[in-house]
Structure formats: structure tokens, C-alpha cells
Amino acid sequence: MSEPNYVVIAASLRGERMGRVLADWAATRTPAPAELIDLAETTLPDDNLLQPGGGQATELTDRLARADAFVLVTPEYNHSYPAGLKRAIDWHYREWMFKPATILSYGVQGGLLAAEHLRGVLAELHMVTTRRVVGLTTPWYDLGPDGYAPPDSVTKGFDLALGELAWWTETLRTARRDRPYAR
Ligand SMILES: Cc1cc2nc3c(=O)[nH]c(=O)nc-3n(C[C@H](O)[C@H](O)[C@H](O)COP(=O)(O)O)c2cc1C
């Protein structure tokens, strides 16, 4: 099989967001080259057009459809993940299905409440999340001249999560090709 397509999604829409630098770092660690989707640079249709199962094609539809695996880089806002990420999820449907994801969350205390909320939503889309997810606590203190410069323990933990993601990526790619689920 060809190299899998990894897609890193930066979830924050804020102008002065921390998320982009973390997503850029995450994209340097994926087992194969990753495409970055920055939701702050994405315009989705108005939600009054939303339908069950998504709706009209968006500027992300083809990019998500091509993906074999996702790395979701999300902050925690009020103990969950941001509304912009939920909109991106809701505007698509088959593009997510039967694909794996890992989550890199961040916040004052690691953002793991965001990660756990996200897992339940992704399960509804027949997605699998890695057992390990990494939560970055106050990553803004680990910024260097070249971007995010985490302690080794963070890099090791994230690489373990990506190792799980790689296993699921190959497993689900094969399953989608050879034994597509009757949905
Ligand atoms: C609306 C809002 C709500 C927040 N709520 C939380 C929270 O519940 N837990 C937390 O650890 N940090 C919280 N924070 C702090 C964020 O973790 C921090 O601002 C982070 O930089 C946000 O990511 P971003 O810069 O990529 O948007 C919140 C920030 C915002 C803007």
C-alpha cells in the first residue's frame, strides 16, 4: 500500500492562538508526512444549512476524505473542546468514518477534559481513538525561537500515541479496502 495520509487539525480559531505552533510541532512527529488543516484558516458554510450527516461539500471535504489518520490538536475551553472543532466535525460525515485519531490537547491542566469529550463524539462517527492521548500543561512556557520545544517526556509520550495511531491506520486502511462495513 502507498504511504498513509496523516492530517493534523489545529482546532483553535483565535487570532493569537497557541494551537498553531503545537500543530506545526505535531506534524513533525507523524510517521509519514502530514498535511495541516488550520481551522482558523477555514471557512465553513453557515450552520443554518447543516443536515444530518453533514450537508453540502465544504472546502475541507476532499482533504478529509483523502486522510487515513487524524491528529486533533485541541485546547480546552470551559472543560470541553472548542465549538469550531465541533462545527468541522458536524459538517462532514463519511470523510471521518472508520478512521483513527489521536488527540493532542492542551490547557492550564493539560486539556484532557476536552480530549475525553472529543472521544465520545468521534465514536459516534465510527472512529477509533488511541488509548494514549497526550495533554500538554501550560505549553506556552515551552516556546523557543523555533517553535514548541517540549521536554523529552512529552515527545516520548506523543511518539507512543503516534505508534498506536500508526497501527490503527494500517489496520483500518486494510479493513476499509478489503471488508468495508455495510453502513
Ligand atoms: C474561552 C476560553 C475558555 C478556556 N477554558 C479553559 C479551561 O476550561 N481549561 C483550561 O485549562 N484552559 C482554559 N482556557 C485557557 C486555554 O487553555 C489557553 O488560553 C490556550 O492558549 C487556548 O488555546 P489557543 O490559544 O490555541 O486558543 C480557556 C481559554 C479560552 C479562550
User: What percent of the chain lies above the pLDDT cut of 70?
Assistant: 99
Judge if the beta carbon of residue 83 lies within 6 A of ligand 1.
Answer: no
Which domains, from first to last, does the chain contain? 6-178 (3.40.50.360)
Q: Give pLDDT tens digits for 140-183.
A: 999 999 999 999 999 999 999 999 999 999 999 999 999 999 76
77 C-alpha vs ligand 1 centroid, how far in Å? 5
How far apart CA 58 and CA 157 sit, in angstroms, is: 34
Q: 79 CA distance to ligand 1 centroid (A)? A: 9
pLDDT tens figures, 37-83: 999 999 999 999 999 988 899 999 999 999 999 999 999 999 999 99
Establish whether residue 85 lines the binding site of ligand 1, counting it when its CB lies within 6 angstroms of any ligand atom: no
Task: Please tell me the residue having the least CA distance from ligand 1 atom 4.
Answer: 77
Buried b (16+ CB within 10 A) or exposed e, 127-153: bbbbebbbbbeebeebeeeeebebeee
What spatial distance separates the first Cα and last Cα of the chain, rounded to whole Å?
24
22 sits in which H/E element = helix 19-29
Q: How sure is the predictor about 3, in pLDDT bands with cuts at 50, 70 and 90?
A: very high
Closest C-alpha to ligand 1, atom 16: 107
Beta strands in the chain (DSSP E): 6-10, 34-38, 69-75, 100-107, 128-129, 134-137, 143-144, 147-148
Output the nine-digit C-alpha cell for 40: 482558523
User: How far is the centre of ligand 1, averaged over its atoms, from the C-alpha of 106 (Å)?
Assistant: 8
- pTM of this structure: 0.97
pLDDT at 120: 98
pLDDT in tens, 98-121: 999 999 999 999 999 999 999 999
C-alpha 107 – ligand 1 centre gap (Å): 6
| Distance in Å, CA 135 to ligand 1 centroid | 13
Element (H, E) at 157: helix 152-178
3-class state of residue 146 by DSSP:
coil
| Ligand 1 atom 22: residue of nearest CA | 75
